[in-house]
Structure 1
Amino acid sequence: MVRPAKHIENVRYAIRNVVAEANRLEAQGRRILFLNIGDPLKFDFQTPPHLIEAVHRAMRDGHNGYAPSAGIPAAREAIARECTRIGIPGVAPSDVVVTSGASEALELALTALLEPGDSVLLPCPGYPLYSALMAKLSARGVPYTLDEEHGWTLDLEEIDALCTPSTRALLLCNPNNPTGAVLDRKVLEGLLELARRRGLVILSDEIYDKLLYDKAHTPTASLATDVPIITFNGLSKAYVACGWRMGWLVFCNSHLMPELKSAVMRLADARLCAPAPQQYAIQPALEGPQEHIPEMMKRMRSRRDLMVRRINATPGLSVVEPAAAFYAMVRLQLPGVTDDEQFVLSLLRETGVLFVHGSGFGQKAGTQHFRVVFLPPEDILTMAFDRLEAFVRERYLTGTHLKA
């Protein structure tokens, strides 16, 4: 028997793991309502036509070979200009690396930064990729709590107390997946002061920065010129092109980390390049028509409001209204529910509604959650929430005195 490396034992990806059971049920003829994955293209959203045309033209014009390791010049230049537009100073095209999705960007940065045994402060709850990368790199992910009672913000005192000599970086997901929260500017300023004092690199995942409802988003790197910050973004979410795997990282205040930048560039060279034709969509995306975003958010706002209304009206469930993106973490406070993964699987088997268990993202000890993706059209959401409410009432609330 060939044994895999021990450090891979802790790699889990809850979002896809629960799909195996859904697929088994679907193969038996069950209809599954998928509220588990953040891919707008699974529903009634489409990639903007001018981006498809840009990729088509690139293929037609013969741009089908390897691209430069760090990305084609037009893409890197457009990303640098976008940074200037949103208030991040001093970014040059040479500070940009185009990657196979923001996931690869994170992996390149963390691989270049961390030695085995180093630690990174990670949001809890947080996107499962972060902890998976820690396991892959034999590094340690140290969770810091996002406070549900205060809109999923973070506690600067807790983060400061978690820092040790092995702490190299703090990772932010802002706007956040899985909660949909957006951090206030004052909180970010406090975090930057902590990073300054502790000598930390800030890794700022901002892939949802354009998918906002009412609250403004402040780019982390717009607030400091004396802290090393790497920002991550891409075309997957706001530009509805998940399958193209087009992301990037930006070294903000790159003068503070020339050796780290050089290390990432060497890693980028070693893996050759991100997909070439899709890179020709980056400049049209960032600098072309943007009308699809407000149109998308108008539909998403209505779906968000429906989700919040239905969840908060269901006994034993509650949710903090998301300020961005298309996710929410639903709190479970039902008699006998001590394992949210089993709750999600039972719900799936009985009703065909698929969520992702909160424990797959991390959560405060003693709490139970599930993540809902509210991308589907309102008739699908209504059907899913009808089934969820009936399941909760029939299984957990018979004979109890929870709210009616």
Structure 2
Amino acid sequence: MVVRPARHIENVRYAIRNVVAEAHRLETQGQHILYLNIGDPLKFDFQTPPHLIEAVHRAMRDGHNGYAPSAGILTAREAISRECANRGIPNISPDDVVVTTGASEALELALTALLDPGERVLLPSPGYPLYNALMAKLSTEGVPYSLDEENGWSLDLEEIDRLCTPGTRAILLCNPNNPTGAVLDREVLEGLLEIARRRGLVILSDEIYDKLIYDKPHVATASLATDVPILTFNGLSKGYLACGWRVGWMVFCNAHLMPELRAAVQRLADARLCGPAPQQYAIAPALDGPQDHIPEMMARLRRRRDLMVRRINAIPGLSVVEPAAAFYAMPRLQLPGVTSDEAFVMSLLRETGVLFVHGSGFGQKPGTTHFRVVFLPPEDILTAAFDRLEAFVHAHHAR
């Protein structure tokens, strides 16, 4: 007997981790791999702030090891509502917040509560692969809208308006963006909100990288409108260096516009019991407590970003738009003979041990090829990786 899996997940792919299997195989053969593929700062020289670790430790010692309320503990939800006020998002009460197992679960709960099979959500391309995976899981349609590399990876409002149909329910933003590191201008966000307002759409705003900004300011989408239903997603993973704790949340902004959706999410949250309980006791200390680790982290990341941009743009046939946030970039390949970025990435890995992720795993404009680079590693590792990349390009793709 052969058990057939559900057909609706046949196209689920997660490029970020799919390439790792080959890297692990090579490691077992003795090859040294330089991992520039996954956005986990704790794999490198960053550490979770000690006061957050102490908060979780204290919660465990004090016996907070059972189930938490399904929407999250009150002190955490109160802290998130205060954080929203600090970000210019008005009128958020703790009842508008749901704490989840990472921002990924928050997105899944929201999409599950919002969509019927066959309905559509506009998704950024390039964008985080989870979005398409969730759409496939729910038997719904993810419709890509293009981010414009020539315009700092911004979006085209006319294209988005054109892509909307009667079956479209929402527009999803990743701002700051993974994989490009782009940050959307206020004027672009206001134009997007006008489309949502006119067409009766929900805005889903993934802002998990909002603390990791270099120069260009980040504007919270929900700070710009009180008459559009907006769900904002965030968590401790990136800005607070606690990826493995899986602490995230969603906020119903302008919740008076979507009471039934909020109730539906709450029913789903009840059904899965709760997010990790002790870790929720770090949310208030994170948001309300010392923020010293962020400027120190960003100073290091700025040096690494600048190194990455300088080295990539110095290699003939490669170019990269300077990221405005986070620790990702999406270099473009314009090399003779390269028609598949996945083949390029795998060949580079096997020959040099440098691991990137192919751009097609995130979506890209037809006819273009890219790869995503994570510039979290220290400068010496980045330098070694870019030395190998440059030598590989010169050896195989010289003009």
What TM-score results when the alignment is normalised by the length of structure 2?
A: 1.00
Shift of 1:333: 0.1
Please give the alpha-carbon distance, in whole angstroms, between the structure 2 residues aligned to 1:278 and 1:5.
34
Q: Partner of 1:69 in structure 2? A: 70
* 2:356 equivalent to 1:355: yes
Counterparts of 2:200 and 2:334, CA distance in 1: 40
What code does the residue aligned with 1:314 have?
Answer: I
Distance 2:146 2:70 in 1: 37
The residue that corresponds to 1:114 in the other structure is 115
Deviations 1:339-387 (A, max 9, x none): 0000000000000000000000000000000000000000000000000
Shift of 1:43: 0.1
Give the SS at the match of 1:249.
Answer: strand
Task: Give distance in 1, aligned partners of 2:23 and 2:149.
Answer: 29
1:53 alignment counterpart: 54
Q: What's 1:343 paired with?
A: 344
- Name the residue aligned to 1:259: 260
Other structure's SS at 2:147 match: strand
Shift of residue 162, structure 1, vs aligned partner: 0.3
Question: Is structure 2 residue 213 aligned with structure 1 residue 212?
Answer: yes
In 2, the alpha carbon distance for the partners of 1:31 and 1:238 equals: 29
Q: Which amino acid aligns with 1:389?
A: E
Say yes or no: does 1:234 pair with 2:255.
no
Partners of 1:112 and 1:28 in 2: CA distance: 46
Paired position in structure 1 for 2:9: 8
Deviation at 1:314, TM superposition (A): 0.4
Paired letter, 1:362: G
Q: Aligned pair 1:316/2:331, yes or no? A: no
Give the distance between the partners of 1:286 and 1:27, measured in 2 at CA. Answer: 42
- Return the offset for 1:61: 0.2
**Per-residue deviation, residues 139-173 of structure 1 (Å, max 9, x unmatched):** 00000000000000000000000000100000000
Corresponding residue for residue 296 of structure 1? 297
CA distance in 1, matches of 2:30, 2:71: 46
| Structure 2 Cα separation of the partners of residues 310 and 359 of structure 1 | 22
1:25-61, CA deviations, whole angstroms, 9 ceiling, x for partnerless residues?
A: 0111110000000000000000000000000000000
**Partner of residue 136, structure 2:** 135
Q: CA deviation at 1:210?
A: 0.6
Q: Distance in 1 between matches of 2:239 and 2:233?
A: 13
In 2: Cα distance, 1:159 partner to 1:120 partner: 11
Q: Give the structure 2 partner of residue 105 of structure 1.
A: 106
Write the letter of the residue equivalent to 1:224: A
Distance 1:23 1:74 in 2: 42
Tell me if 1:243 matches 2:244: yes
Q: Distance in 2 between matches of 1:162 and 1:200?
A: 13
Runs of 4 or more consecutive aligned structure 1 residues displaced over 6 Å after TM superposition: none
Question: Is the aligned partner of 1:187 residue 2:202?
Answer: no
> SS of the residue aligned with 2:210?
coil
Distance of 1:231 and 1:197 partners within structure 2: 20
Secondary structure of the residue that 1:117 maps to in structure 2? Answer: coil
User: Once the 2 structures are TM-superposed, how far is the Cα of residue 195 of structure 1 from its aligned partner?
Assistant: 0.3
SS across alignment from 1:190: helix
Identity, in percent, stands at 83
Task: Provide the residue aligned with 1:364 in structure 2.
Answer: 365
Q: Write out per-residue CA displacement over residues 184-219 of structure 1, whole angstroms, 9 at most, x where no aligned residue.
A: 000000000000001110000000001000000000
Corresponding residue of 2:386: 385
SS state at 2:222 partner: helix
1:228 Cα deviation (Å)?
A: 0.1
Secondary structure of the 1:38 match is: coil
SS of the residue 1:240 aligns to: coil
Aligned to 2:19: 18
Cα separation, 2, equivalents of 1:327 and 1:126: 12
Counting only pairs closer than 5 Å after superposition, residues 137-152 of structure 1 correspond to structure 2 as 137-152=138-153
Q: How does 1:322-341 map to 2 (within 5 A)?
A: 322-341=323-342
> Counterpart in 2 of 1:395?
396
Which residue does 1:42 correspond to in 2?
43
RMSD over aligned Cα, in angstroms? Answer: 0.3
Tell me the alpha carbon deviations over residues 214-258 of structure 1, each in whole angstroms, 9 at most, x when there is no partner: 000000000000000000000000000000000000000000000
Which letter does structure 2 place at the counterpart of 1:306? L
Q: How far apart, in 2, do the equivalents of 1:354 and 1:220 lie?
A: 34
2: CA distance, partners of 1:379 / 1:274: 38
- The residue number in structure 2 matching 1:223 is 224
Q: Give the total of aligned pairs.
A: 398
Unaligned 5+ runs, structure 1: none
Cα distance, 1:107 vs structure 2: 0.1
* Alignment partners' CA distance in 1, 2:266 and 2:189: 28
